[in-house]
């Protein structure tokens, strides 16, 4: 299988008074017809990779090739072959959904009739037929995302770049979009997707590259990454912060690594093997020393866990966790296994 996307030694520093080395030597290889998930926290460098690959930004060093073309040398040809969707506000707020798609078709020289037919087909595929004659300004975030993605698909690109396609969507819209993307991939599109959600990469990607501080710090399938950080977590929230240390002591030795306490949330997490049985044992131990809990769960590793396991630091700043968790699809996975 030949590589649809190949990136070697990409380096990019943004200038200014405090220069930021956004990419520090990134290598990537995406075989044709496969999906690569670029997984990393805010500021890891994901968008910078996508912008370079789409010919919107020049790297300081390294090479990016898309479908055999050197992006720095042939940015326009590359842009004509790819689809790009994400944090770029590609759709025009003052036009209707249909007008936007037809316009994109015309920009790609599809001709009037073909542009119109393609718009009809995509509006249907993305559930926007009813909204087709409404001006985009009044669209919800989810509708906008779908339209943006539809616009990226007008010219039927063989390679598609999606920059955090589901950030900000509610769980239902996120799952709908995953279905559409899975269909696209099944039809042979090569996809590079950036995301902050392990579950999203898990669902869609054949391979995952974990990015942190402009470097790829791990590669593998979702299962391989989870295995590397331990498959499951027991997490509990103690009622009384003063008993946190006692709870950690009670749980010591039960997991694959020492329990990790977070005083701010009164939470303790530990990677375990053995599922519900270990959760029961944890509850027994805590009960035996009289520790009361507000919550207890067995859950799959989140991106935070993968990051912590791989880098020793959290994926998101501590003060961002509360908000981010509310929107984290991994959080939904714990709901069914709450004790
Ligand atoms: P996010 O999820 O927030 O989009 P990301 O992983 O896509 O994050 P990038 O947007 O690529 O990360 O940013 C990488 C680093 O480069 C960050 O530290 C960011 O602040 C910095 N950066 C990005 N764009 C610029 C710019 N135009 N000028 C200066 N610094 C920038």
Distance of CA 89 to the CA centre of its chain: 18
Rounded to 5 degrees, what are φ and ψ at 35?
Answer: -120, 125
Task: Compute, in angstroms, the gap from residue 282 CA to the centroid of ligand 1.
Answer: 41
Could you read off the pLDDT of 299-337 as tens digits, one per residue?
888 777 777 778 777 665 543 433 333 333 333 333 333
Residue 43 CB–ligand 1 contact under 6 Å: yes
Residue 46 CB–ligand 1 contact under 6 Å: yes
Q: Which of 10, 13, 14, 201 to mutate to test the pocket of ligand 1 (most atoms within 8 A of CB)?
A: 14
Rounded to 5 degrees, what are φ and ψ at 231?
Answer: -70, -40
Q: Is the Cβ–Cβ distance between 99 and 130 less than 8 Å?
A: no
Q: Is the Cβ–Cβ distance between 229 and 271 less than 8 Å?
A: yes
Could you read off the pLDDT of 108-123 as tens digits, one per residue?
889 999 999 999 999 9
Residue 22 CB–ligand 1 contact under 6 Å: yes
Residue 34 CB–ligand 1 contact under 6 Å: no
What's the rounded mean pLDDT across residues 263-267? 94
Predicted pLDDT of residue 89: 62
DSSP conformation class of 121: H
d(CA 299, CA 336): 9
- Please report the DSSP string for 103-114 in residue order: HHHHHTT--HHH
Predicted pLDDT of residue 41: 83
Cα dihedral across residues 192, 198, 200, 203: positive or negative: positive
What's the rounded mean pLDDT across residues 16-35? 93
Report residue 74 as tokens: 């042939």
The residue contributing the CA closest to ligand 1 atom 29 is 14
Task: Compute, in angstroms, the gap from residue 329 CA to the centroid of ligand 1.
Answer: 23
What predicted TM-score, i.e. pTM, was given to this entire model? 0.79
Residue 182 CB–ligand 1 contact under 6 Å: no
Task: Compute, in angstroms, the gap from residue 92 CA to the centroid of ligand 1.
Answer: 24
DSSP conformation class of 320: H
The residue contributing the CA closest to ligand 1 atom 30 is 14
Task: Compute, in angstroms, the gap from residue 154 CA to the centroid of ligand 1.
Answer: 28
Average pLDDT over the chain reads 87
Rounded to 5 degrees, what are φ and ψ at 96?
Answer: -80, 170
Residue 339 in this model has a pLDDT that exceeds 70: no
Q: What percent of the chain has pLDDT over 90?
A: 60
Residue keyed to tokens 């920059």: 163
């Amino acid at each position: 299988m030949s590589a649809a996307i190949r990136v070697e030694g990409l380096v990019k520093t943004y200038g200014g008074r405090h220069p930021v080395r956004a990419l520090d030597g990134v290598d990537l290889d995406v075989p044709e017809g496969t999906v690569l998930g670029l997984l990393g926290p805010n500021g890891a460098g994901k968008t910078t990779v996508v912008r370079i690959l789409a010919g919107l930004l020049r790297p300081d060093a390294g090479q990016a090739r898309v479908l055999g073309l050197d992006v720095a040398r042939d940015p326009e040809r590359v842009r004509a072959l790819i689809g790009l969707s994400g944090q770029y506000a590609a759709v025009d707020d003052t036009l209707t959904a249909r007008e936007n798609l037809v316009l994109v078709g015309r920009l790609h020289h599809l001709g009037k009739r073909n542009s119109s037919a393609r718009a009809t087909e995509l509006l249907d595929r993305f559930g926007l037929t009813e909204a087709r004659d409404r001006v985009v300004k009044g669209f919800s975030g989810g509708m906008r995302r779908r339209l943006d993605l539809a616009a990226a698909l007008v010219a039927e690109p063989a390679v598609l770049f999606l920059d955090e396609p589901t950030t900000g969507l509610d769980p239902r819209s996120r799952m709908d979009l995953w279905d559409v993307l899975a269909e696209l991939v099944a039809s042979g599109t090569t996809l590079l997707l950036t995301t902050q959600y392990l579950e999203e990469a898990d669902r869609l990607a054949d391979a995952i590259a974990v990015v942190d501080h402009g470097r790829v710090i791990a590669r593998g399938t979702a299962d391989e990454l989870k295995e590397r950080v331990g498959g499951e977590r027991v997490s509990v929230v103690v009622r009384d912060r003063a008993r946190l240390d006692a709870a950690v002591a009670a749980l010591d030795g039960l997991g694959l690594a020492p329990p990790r306490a977070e005083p701010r949330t009164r939470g303790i997490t530990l990677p375990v093997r053995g599922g519900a049985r270990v959760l029961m044992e944890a509850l027994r131990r805590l009960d035996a020393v009289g520790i009361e809990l507000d919550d207890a769960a067995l859950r799959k590793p989140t991106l935070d866990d993968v990051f912590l396991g791989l880098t020793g630091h959290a994926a998101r700043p501590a003060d961002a966790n509360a908000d981010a968790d509310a929107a984290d699809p991994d959080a939904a996975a714990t709901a069914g296994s709450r004790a």
